[in-house]
Amino acid sequence: MDANSLNVARENIKRNKYAGHIETICAQGVQHSRIQLNKPFNLICANILADPLIRLASNLRKIQCSGGILLLSGILISQSDPVKAAYVSLGYKLLYHIRYAGWSTLILEAR
């Protein structure tokens, strides 16, 4: 994934005083050893395009605990329905769909 976006995320974590509480890693999918050793997760955030989010859906569900929150962003509003459908089909419940400036953020809860 994008190492520059990882650096921006780390700076935002520090700025918001969450250093030491949130870990970031740059990984292709969910097979990274730190992901596998620390699963299941209460909170997962993914800011990537619709197609990769759809491809990752079943793997993300496997590493998230029931009741956990999934925040998906980087989705064009026009592409949000297929993303939403992919996650709802895996038992996620849509909590919020935020639309801003052509982009969508989906906040879901794992069931």
Give pLDDT, residue 1: 58
CA–CA dist 63, 41 (Å, integer) = 6
Low-confidence ranges of the chain (pLDDT < 50): none
pTM of the shown model: 0.88
3-state secondary structure of 104: strand
Closest of 110, 88, 89, 106 to residue 97, by C-alpha: 106
